[in-house]
Amino acid sequence: MCGYSKFAAHNKKSFSLIEVAVAIALLALVFGGALAVFSQGAVASRKTQQQAVAYSLARAFLEQHSDWNSLDILDGSLDGAVTNSTYANPPAPAAINNILYTPSLAVSDGPINPTQLKRLDITISWMDGAIARNITIATLKANY
Annotate the chain with three-state secondary structure: CCCCCCCHHHHCCCCCHHHHHHHHHHHHHHHHHHHHHHHHHHHHHHHHHHHHHHHHHHHHHHHHCCCHHHHHHHHCCCCCCCCCEEEECCCCCEEECCEEEEEEEEEEECCCCCCCEEEEEEEEEEEECCEEEEEEEEEEEECC
Residue 91: HSE in the Cβ half-sphere, 13 Å Cα cutoff: 18
Give me the pLDDT at residue 90, please.
Answer: 64
Question: What number of other Cβ atoms are within 10 A of residue 55's Cβ?
Answer: 13
Successive 10-residue mean pLDDT values, the chain, 144 residues:
57 84 94 92 92 93 80 70 70 85 88 83 91 92 81
Alpha-carbon distance of 105 to 85, in angstroms, equals 8
- 137 in Cβ contact with 120 (< 8 Å): no
Give me the pLDDT at residue 6, please.
Answer: 58
pTM check: above 0.85: no
